[in-house]
Amino acid sequence: MRVFKFGGASVKNADGVKNVVHVLKEVGHENTLVVVSAMGKTTNAMEGVVKAYFDDDNTLASAIQDVVKYHNTILQDLFSNDRHPIFGEVKSIFDDVQDFLSRNKSPNYSFVYDQVVGYGELVSTTIINAYFNEIGIECNWLDVRGVIKTDSNHREAHVNWDETQTRITAAIDKSKLYITQGFLGSDENNFTTTLGREGSDYTAAIFAYCLNANSVTIWKDVPGVLNADPRYFENAQLLNQISYREAIELAFYGASVIHPKTLQPLQRKEIPLHVKSFINPKGAGTTVGKGNGIEPKVPCFIVRKGQALVKLSSLDFSFIVEDSISEIFKLFHEYKMKVDLIQNSAISFSVCVDNKFGRLHELLNHLKAKFKVVCHENVSLYTIRHFDVHAIESLQNGKEVLLEQRGKETLQLVVK
């Protein structure tokens, strides 16, 4: 059996849904399980609904109505008969959202987030499943919450693999076509949970692992995995092959390849992962699997913008050693700083951090009590995997390098 995953960009409108049909007709849809995300920017819109609910905002009703209108437009473009049962099914889904919000008593933001945001995937798969069957592609809709079981760590739930394996094995007939939701699961009380960053890709990997699938294919609007983000680098090249290890390394440094948690279950059973274009489904794409390194072996460029470089040195010229470093990292954790690079000497310690939660200045004030602190804000962290002289020169040209760190395979530069 194969597992396909289509993200929100691929089903953002009626033409996108029709193109998914085109892809399935091109590559076949027998023995296939299709994982689908929420349509377009629906997840962002549903996050806005949650925010309006907690802010006791009078925009809550309009926030929900905007999502309803967006999906109704797609329905009207896909189904010529406005008496088709799908219109009532979608209305019922959004009625459930409003019903939950009207009776909810929980003040837990993450719990409410999971109950509300997950409706994006439920409505997208309901619409697409109805369209498939309408045009003669027999498809089975599967509520993923009934098979992927997790703990109650809302917004970053951990999978109960044994129970999930049992439920998926019992629910799936490998000879049929299924459509199900990415990103979602449920806890032991059957409350909806979400799987965190790259949750839909992870869903595809969970199913592949439990079904011993032949492969997973993630369909994107790019030809495959490139050696650089074309928004920031010229002449980006397609990578034909990437090893599991290399893909995890690239993801660690910030490349938008595949999240490591998606790769781990696939690596355990050596299930290949294909990244292909839904615009050109017969294109070669990129395969992540067994092997070493990348093919072709070219430098891979990664950039993280809007970082902060924090340089700490002791006030009395004493060494910065284990106890000091332990204290520093405790503070990074407390202030929710993601550390992307570390460099230290006897009396200094430098880190490049992502100020994702906007608490950098609180952290700096805390650190100044014990250290001399120099901070460069809004810097960029560049990483080159498999660097060569030309690659280094192309990055350094015209930039002020604040920090350089070089290993056997990887070079990192913090620049202004």
Annotated binding site for ATP: 231
Provide CB contacts within 8 A for 164, sequence distance 6+.
Answer: 147, 148, 149, 185, 206, 210
Under 8 Å between Cβ of 17 and 74: yes
Binding residue numbers: 231
Q: Does an H or E element contain 411, and which? A: strand 410-415
For the chain, how big is the Rg over CA atoms in Å? Answer: 24
Length of the chain measured in residues: 416
Query: Within the chain, what is the greatest distance between any pair of CA atoms?
Result: 78
The gap between the terminal CA atoms of the chain, to the nearest Å, is 49
Q: Tell me how far apart the alpha carbons of residues 50 and 113 are, in angstroms, rounded to a whole number.
A: 6
User: Could you tell me which residues are beta bridge partners of residue 287?
Assistant: 241, 274
Q: Sort 276 into a burial class: Cβ within 10 Å, 0-12 / 13-18 / 19+.
A: buried
Provide CB contacts within 8 A for 134, sequence distance 6+.
Answer: 78, 79, 84
